[in-house]
A and B are shown apart, each in its own frame.
Chain A
Amino acid sequence: MIVNRFERQVILPGFGQEGQAKLKQASVLVIGAGGLGCPVLLYLAAAGVGRIAVVDGDVISQSNLNRQVLYGEKDLGKNKADTAVRYFQEKYSDIQWTAIPEFITVDNAQAHIFHYDLVIDGSDNFPTRYLVNDASVLLKKPLVYGSIYQHEGQVSVFNVGSHPCNYRDVFPNPPAPQEIPNCAETGVLGVLPGIIGNLMALEAIKVLAGLGKPLSNKLLLFNSLDTQFQELEIQPNPANQSALPASWNEFHQRDYTSAFEGIQQLTWNEAMKLMGQEVAFVDVREPGEEPPLECTGLVKVPFSTLPNELDRFEEAEEILCFCQSGIRSKKAAQLLQQTYPDKKIFSIRGGINALKS
């Protein structure tokens, strides 16, 4: 037997040369090279995954150094993806590295994810997590998910198995911005992302090498204060399908960065085609806003009173909101969507102003 740097894992029963060959042939896209991404990268690289790309548009700052163990004082101000890749290129010559020093967006996600066998979500914000989830679902790529909050972590494997789950089966829609703590205010001991990141690397290796039972259809919870693990069973939920973009076209048009993610926007032309019996057509402008719009089936519910009149829409199957410029109608649509998660709710892009022009 040839002794190489993988000898100790190749002699493992159930892994062997075959497992190693699978890792060597595999490619992984790691999104976020921060607290989770650093340990993920360390162990995927050490294990010999053949091709690894690192996506991160952020730069290294002093406060990262308690947990982002790939970086040191000399790296402050440098891009994370570039710095991580440079570090590994010196360490292991048998891996093909790609640094992508930018943030993942609706414009680049498809092109980046397409080229890899597995995606790791080590990001640190909800918009990115939902974006990465949705793009991975559209591409049917295994996604290893991990996230942390103070002394707790969550890990799962999405889009793997015969009844695959994705993040929207657990949390169909992102929380409202006001309920998300400011990252800068949330403390973390570096060991926690170290543990969660290692679990993520383990899950990735299991999926790629066909080893053991990956955490698909399971959500693993870890609490570092009492060192407790708990596993929850999760199932694909058809009701959550509507929260996913149905096509790349829909994906590209989503605004994941705003609070209104999930609210589909329509042009007036698209909206007109939807009009019908079961559709509530709602003007959320305040009385007196010009020009008034009158047509059959139009309901006028000013945005200021909407919270008290939500029950007026119980019968509608679909709800179309518009306002003067398209901003209040997005807020209104979001409020309605929270009240009626199963209804299709739309906001008309540009509002009355778009109709005038």
Chain B
Amino acid sequence: MPNYIRLKAFGMLAEKIGTDSLEIENPGSSEALRRLLLEQFPALQSLTFRMAVDRKLLQAETDISAGQEIALLPPFSGG
């Protein structure tokens, strides 16, 4: 099985990344993924966001396995 993961970006993050859904090679951990994202999409550097792996919000850094879905979640304030 190829070592890919699926990213789902929400809100302003999807705008900055240019798409709300993206398949990338698995960097192996949430820390490595964050580094990779900030490097590939420098516009994310100034944004607050949390990650969820397979629909669970991360409490701490974690390993990521092939095929997992990572949600990138910014806070919304509108009402």
Contacts and interface: CB of A to CB of B under 8 A. Distances in A.
Contact of B77 (A147, A193, A230): A147
B32 interface: no
A231 B79 contact: no
Contacts of B73: 170, 219, 221, 232
Contacts of B52: 232-233
Contacts of A171: 48, 50, 75
Nearest to A149: B76
A89 interface: no
Interface string B1-34: 0000000101110000000100000000000000
A50 B21 CA distance: 44
B46 A148 contact: no
A220 B43 CA distance: 26
Nearest to B45: A179
B59 A148 contact: no
Nearest to B71: A232
Interface in A21-47: 32, 34-37
Interface string A111-142: 00000000001111110010000000000000
A176 B48 contact: yes
Contact of B79 (A123, A152, A230): A123
Interface in A47-103: none
Nearest to B20: A223
A326 interface: no
B57 A175 contact: no
A357 interface: no
B47 A175 contact: yes
Given A176-B48, A181-B12, A36 B71 contact: no
Given A175-B48, A178-B46, A188 B78 contact: yes
A173 B75 CA distance: 10
Given A171-B48, A176-B48, A221 B57 contact: no
A235 B12 contact: no
B15 to A, nearest CB: 9
Contacts of B78: 35, 124, 147-149, 183, 186, 188, 193
Nearest to B55: A232
A237 B56 CA distance: 13
Interface in A159-200: 169-171, 173-176, 178-181, 183, 186, 188, 193
| Contact count band on B | 20 to 34
A129 to B, nearest CB: 6
A180 B77 contact: yes
Contacts of A264: none
**Which of A37, A148, A152, A188 is most buried by chain B, counting CB atoms within 10 A of its CB?**
A152
Nearest to B59: A237
A9 interface: no
B56 A153 contact: no
A108 interface: no
B79 A175 contact: no
9 contacts: A124-B77, A146-B79, A149-B11, A152-B10, A153-B76, A178-B46, A186-B78, A223-B20, A233-B52
Given A123-B77, A148-B78, 14 more contacts: A122-B79, A126-B77, A147-B75, A148-B76, A150-B11, A169-B57, A173-B48, A180-B77, A181-B12, A183-B78, A193-B79, A232-B55, A233-B57, A235-B57
Interface of A: 32, 34-37, 121-126, 129, 146-150, 152-154, 169-171, 173-176, 178-181, 183, 186, 188, 193, 219, 221, 223, 230-235, 237, 239
